[in-house]
Structure 1
Amino acid sequence: MTVVTKRSSMTFFSDPTDIMSHRVRMVLHEKGVTVEIVDCDPENVPDEVRELNPYGKLPTLVDRDLSLFEANVMMEYLDERFPHPPLLPVYPVARANSRQMITRIDREWTALARVILKEKTGKRVDTARKALRDSVIATNAIFEEKPYFMSDDFSLVDCAVAPILWRSNLLGLDLPAKSTVAIREYGERVFGRECFQLSMSEVEAEMRD
């Protein structure tokens, strides 16, 4: 947390292509938060972001005199700051399980996706793509159990999962139709939500064309 010059409204400095920025935008729109979303070039981050964020990177969320620079912290802050609709379970054990699941998604999916998107070609990319593809396919049974990811209700976990699945074609995952029926149905369900539709940048909206 960094103390910064007080702003009159919430501002979200976002990378329009980034998975982590996308998940925060989903939360903002699910909550109906009045926010100024500023799309930034990650290769040319504005000086204002460098002043607000000690790492000088995106995404960065500013709410009056508060500056946040870690996407998962932003999501939980927004869930507490704007409690309706709730995106984490009420009970401590369930909340802990949700947090742990997001951590697993980041370690097992997001990290691999970043290698593919950043490096584009090469042995490391091929290895990451196969590992991510196999991991996603292996979760099909989980998607069969509940309408949302291990839950009857839309949650922060879905905000972490959906941006990766949306990029499945861009990532070159080539998911087999027969063994990913539940994943595809889940995708249609989440991608059709208003918060997801509103969350997409112009670049993201074209990723599945």
Structure 2
Amino acid sequence: MAAVSKRSVMTLYSGQTCPLSHRIRFVLAEKGITADIVPVSGDNKPEELLDLNPYGTVPTLVDRDLALYGTKIIAEYLDERFPHPPLMPVDPVSRAKARLVLYRIEKDWYGPLDRLIEGGETDAEGARKALIESLTASNELFANMPYFLSEDLSIMDCAVAPLLWRLPHYGIELPEQAQAVLDYAERIFALDSFQRSLTDAERVMRP
């Protein structure tokens, strides 16, 4: 993935199937920020990554002398460093509400996804059920606006879309009662910026 409309000396250490890394690649693509993408997989971590980030985790972003880790920290930094198009609201109250929504996305949706990725088969079945039930119960949140709780694409979409992209890969099929979620997903997946955010390994996660 390489966006082309804004120059940058940034480097992103990115997992090839990591949903958190995918979130940052989506932000980069949506904002048209050029960054060198360094693929990181499993235990095969570049030596310099451990020098930049004591946890050795991805995503890790390097912007000149600044090294950042933590998905939300990186996303908000990019939004402030490259303010157009804005992905976070301008006023403090709306920003706080957006952060609260992101917190719930992490807890209610990424929590079960993490269990699917890292847990055993017994735990995975419970995680699938929890994720299906939670997304289905949230169907109305996807129904009223073109983007997630917004008229414009936001930081919340950058968090939700990578998760929805991975559902078939982890054996999750949403029911008819979640039709608005499915319709939303197809709209986001069709965006040029989302398509450019995908790695080759992520492209094969969906039929």
Q: Does 2:180 match 1:182?
A: yes
1:185 positional shift:
1.2
The aligned runs of 1:132-171 (5 Å cut-off) are 132-171=131-170
The residue identity in structure 2 corresponding to 1:153 is D
Alignment check: 8 A CA contact 1:31 1:82 kept: yes
Match of 2:129 in 1: 130
Give the secondary-structure state (helix, strand or coil) at the position aligned to 1:95: helix
CA distance in 2, matches of 1:34, 1:141: 36
Aligned residues: 200
**Unpaired segments ≥5 residues, structure 2:** 1-7
Match of 1:5 in 2: none
What are the superposed Cα offsets for residues 149-208 of structure 1, whole Å, 9 maximum, x if unpaired? 1111100000000011011111222111x2122111111111111111000000111111
Match of 1:3 in 2: none
Structure 1 segments of 4 or more deviating over 4 A? none
Match of 2:38 in 1: 38
The residue identity in structure 1 corresponding to 2:194 is F
CA distance in 2, matches of 1:207, 1:183: 18
Match of 1:26 in 2: 26
Match of 2:203 in 1: 205
1:42 positional shift:
2.9
The residue identity in structure 2 corresponding to 1:184 is L
1:120 positional shift:
5.0
> So what's the TM-score if we normalise by structure 2?
0.94
Alignment check: 8 A CA contact 1:108 1:132 kept: yes
**Unpaired segments ≥5 residues, structure 1:** 1-7
1:119 positional shift:
2.4
> So what's the TM-score if we normalise by structure 1?
0.93
Identity rate, percent: 47
